[in-house]
Structure 1
Amino acid sequence: MWRFVCGGLLVLVVSWIRKGKNPQLAGLVVLFPVITVVGYYFLSQSISPIAMQRTIVLSILALPAVAAFLITCYYLVGRMAIGWTLLCGISAWLVICLIIIQIYQHIL
């Protein structure tokens, strides 16, 4: 329920900001880590601080996957329907995540 409420509030805030003087700020609000905050909170209840640090390191290493998603969406949003654009963005994200996981497993 908590995630549902946070997600709904995020949509409202983005819509409200988009109609304001600086609609570009809506792009920053979308990047607010609602799911990450909730996920880390509950994860921290069940794992050690060292395991939590390792999880955070993997999240930091995964930032290129987020960039791949955003860059893919940026280039495709004017060329195809939004559903296909988002699907391609998710695909790019997934490919980069798989590469990052392989690298992470070899490092640790």
Structure 2
Amino acid sequence: MEERIVIAAYKPKEGQSEALKLLMKEHLSTLKSQNYVTDRASIIMESLDGTIIEVFEWVSAHAMQQAHSNPVVLEMWGKYAEVCDYIPVGNVAETSQLFSAFTPLN
């Protein structure tokens, strides 16, 4: 297998922090229901500016590509688009520190 561990950053839109946190509770299980991620538990954490960082494992690079045409995943990502913006993890201030520390959410 060619598993891929990714780090994703979700910056909540104005007033949407709690809505984003609720969506995060279903993110991995939705991807898992479509057989796109492994059984490895994700790590979900919050930066000082409220950006949510998630570390999780796709089953393969191919699964990552397939997800972009899956109606279940696209519906979920549509909900994310309403409450957050995807940003490069390098744009999160804490990542410039030698040891980046975040608040755990799961």
* TM-score of the two chains, using structure 1 as the length reference: 0.30
- The structure with the largest alpha-carbon Rg is 1
TM-score (norm 2): 0.31
Higher-strand-fraction structure: 2
